[in-house]
Structures are given as structure tokens and as C-alpha cells.
Amino acid sequence: MTQALKTFGVIGGGAWGTAIAQMLCRDGQDVTLWCLEAEVADAINSAHENTVFLPGVPLKPALRATTSLADLYNLDALFAVAPAQHTRSTLAALKGHIASGTPVVLCSKGIELSTGKFMTEVLADALPEASPAVMSGPSFAIDVAKGLPTAVTLAVEDESIGSELIQAISTPTFRPYLASDLLGAEIGGAVKNVLAIACGIALGKGLGRSAHAALIARGSAEMTRLALAMGADRETMSGLSGLGDLVLTCSSETSRNMSCGLALGRGESLDSILGARNAVTEGVATAPVLRRLASEHDVDMPICASVAAIITGEISVDDAIMTLLMRPNKAEGVEA
């Protein structure tokens, strides 16, 4: 089979965009990574290292970085990896400069706060001529950049584009599994970040591993409930982009979302936690908009709603825990 996709643009020089660019960069594939910050692009081009967002990982010398989105015009495929709140503006800058049907692989995990839209909806607004795909699953940037084994969901609308993307991105250590449920993959990626904050809070408060496991299981039920109400597939929720990412993020202290929750549980303020880090914590923006979305779909998501209330300052951590524990007993199951 001849290689259909040869030129790739990656939008976003954070940790994940850099890891994806590194993974794509191989013989016969030309990769350009757009970075917002000139110092990031300079460090990648001169020292072959993203010293700001992915320090300590040697990058392939063939990987080129730029600060001009014009360098991503008319490429064979794009990977959108800016934080969710900046996805619209970065995609819109490419309007009129992609061929109809160009695959755009959405890799950010979040919901747009101002509109309540998932990234596929943002893409449809900004670049309706693109062919959408969602790549999501348990994958820390550092693991992928180092070539450690990773498996993700690659959900595509167009099966033939899916095969071309698989050919371009898969390696023995990076294993994409093809799927067709884009919305389900997006729901999993966005909701798990909020649940990881909840799990962090519980552990930071010293509530123990039993409470932690209960939050993962009941959080999974919330995620599935929303997915079913919005028309996504139940199966996606038990796959890599659902359960897989939920388990990784909710059990890793290196996760930005879980570590944010841990610090909240130990009594730190949200402002001081976010102020001390140079990395996006998607669950913080997602929690309030997810609560709104759940209410619009008449879906009960008490754990996610509690995280939203803590983040917006409506309730203290202690009161949120008490409120969750005082809920009436009910039958187990997604519908409950």
C-alpha cells in the first residue's frame, strides 16, 4: 500500500503536541509543529528539545517547529492539540488553507466553556471542510515521546481516512484502535479529567483507597449515563478512551488533573495550584460546562457537579464530600 499522507501539521507545542509530532516524525513523513511561544520553537529547532513543556526528552532532529500557522497551510493531515479553550482560534486561522476532506485529528480533551461544544463541533464551525477524527485514550505525553507502549482510540467518520491515518501513526509501541464513535471518545476524554480531580481530592483528604475506587466506578457510571443520553455508544465507555483513560488519569499523581485534586484535598487554593504550574489542567474549565451540559440533558452527574461546585467556589471540599455521602441509597447501575 502506498503512503497517502506525507505532510503533517501539529497545532500546539505543549507536551502532548510535541509527543505526537515526535511519534509522527519518521522516514517519508514530514512534520511541522506549530508553537505559540517563540522560545519553544527555537529550542526545538536548535537544541531538539522542548525545554518548556517536555524537558529532558531528546527530539528527532527532523522535527521542525514554527510560530507561523501559515507553515501549516495545505498539508495532508493536521493534529489539533491546543488546549480545548484555544482550539477554535487556532483552527480558524487555517480557514481557506486546507483542501476539502483534509483529516483533522482532534487530540485535546475538553469542552469549550463559552459554547458547551465538544471539539468536533468546534471543528465543524471553524473548518467545516475538514474530515474529523478524534484520538483519545490513556497516554501521557512523556510515555509516548519516549516510545513506551501506548494504545489509543482513533475514532473517524471516514473509514478510508482512518486506514490512512493508522498507517501514518501506528508503530509497534503506539497502537491506535479504529472506532467510529467520535462523540463517545470525546466524552470519555473530557469527563475523566473532572473525575480525576474528584479522585485526587478524596486521596488528598485522606479518605482512602476504597473511596477512590468507588469514585472511579460511580464516575464511570456518570460518564456512561451522559454518553447514552447524548447518543454515544456504551461500548466506547468501556474502551481505551473511556475506562482506559479514566483508570490512568484517576490513579496517577503525575496527571495534572489528579494532582490538582490532591492539592485541593490537602487544603491548597485553586488559584495557588494553577498559578504554580505551567501546564493546562483541562478538568478545571470542563467541570462547570460539563455540569451545565448534564443538566441540559437531564443527566444526574453528582460527582462531576460536586467538582464544578468546588472549582467555582460555591461549596467547600468538606461540604461537597458530606453532600455526596448523604445522598439517598439507590440501586447500582448506570441508570440509577
Ligand X SMILES: NC(=O)c1ccc[n+]([C@@H]2O[C@H](COP(=O)([O-])OP(=O)(O)OC[C@H]3O[C@@H](n4cnc5c(N)ncnc54)[C@H](O)[C@@H]3O)[C@@H](O)[C@H]2O)c1
Ligand Y SMILES: O=P(O)(O)OC[C@H](O)CO
CB neighbours of residue 178 within 10 Å: 15
282 known member of a binding site:
yes
Residue 261 contacts ligand X per CB under 6 A: no
* Binding residue count for ligand Y, defined by CB under 6 A: 13
Non-local CB neighbours of 30 within 8 Å, separated by 6+ positions = 6, 7, 8
Could you say which of ligand Y, ligand X, none residue 242 binds, taking C-beta under 5 to 8 angstroms by partner kind? Answer: none
**Is-contact 49 74, C-beta < 8 A?**
no
Nearer to ligand X, 109 or 205 (CB): 109
Q: Work out whether the CA dihedral 166, 171, 176, 178 comes out positive or negative.
A: positive
Site for ligand Y in 28-87 (CB under 6 A): none
Q: Are strands 77-80 and 64-66 parallel, antiparallel or unpaired?
A: unpaired
330 assigned binding-site residue = no
Shortest Å distance, C-beta 39 to ligand Y = 22
Alpha-carbon dihedral 235, 236, 241, 243, rounded to 10 degrees: -30
Which residues, 101 to 140, sit near ligand X by CB under 6 A? 107-110, 139-140
* Among 76, 181, 186, 282, contact with ligand X (rule: CB under 6 A): 282
* Nearest C-alpha neighbor of 201 from the set 77, 334, 304, 62: 304
Q: Which of 140, 195, 204, 311 binds ligand Y (CB under 6 A)?
A: 140
Q: Give Dmax over CA atoms of the chain in angstroms.
A: 60
Among ligand Y, ligand X, none, the one that 88 touches (CB under a kind-dependent 5 to 8 A) is none
Q: With CB cut-offs between 5 and 8 Å by kind, which of ligand X, ligand Y, none does residue 196 bind?
A: ligand Y
Establish if 139 lies at the interface with ligand Y (CB under 6 A).
yes
**Minimum distance of ligand X from residue 91's CB (angstroms):** 11
Is 251 flagged in the annotation as binding?
A: no
- Please tell me whether residue 132 binds ligand Y under the rule CB under 6 A: no
Q: Are 309 and 315 in contact (CB under 8 A)?
A: yes
34 is in an annotated binding site: no
Residue 37 CA to its chain's centroid (Å): 21
Residues from 89 through 128 that contact ligand Y (CB under 6 A): 109
For residue 278, how far is the Cα from the chain centroid?
Answer: 17
Interacting partner of 157 out of ligand X, ligand Y, none (Cβ under 5 to 8 A depending on kind)? none
| Residue 138 binds: one of ligand X, ligand Y, none (C-beta under 5 to 8 A by kind) | ligand Y
**Among 76, 103, 83, residue whose Cα is nearest residue 11:** 83
Are 67 and 107 contacting, i.e. CB atoms less than 8 angstroms apart? no
196 lines the binding site for ligand Y (CB under 6 A): yes
Does residue 195 bind ligand Y (CB under 6 A)? no
**CA 107, 295, 334, 209: dihedral to nearest 10 degrees?**
70
Q: Annotated binding residue at 205?
A: no
- 192 included as an active-site residue: yes
Nearest to 196 by CA among 135, 272, 247, 143: 247
For ligand X, give the closer residue by CB, 82 or 183. 82
Residues at the contact surface with ligand X, assessed by CB under 6 A: 12-17, 36-37, 53, 81-84, 86, 90, 107-110, 139-141, 279-280, 282
Residues at the contact surface with ligand Y, assessed by CB under 6 A: 109, 138-140, 193, 196, 245, 248-249, 255-257, 282
* Catalytic residue numbers, as ranges: 192
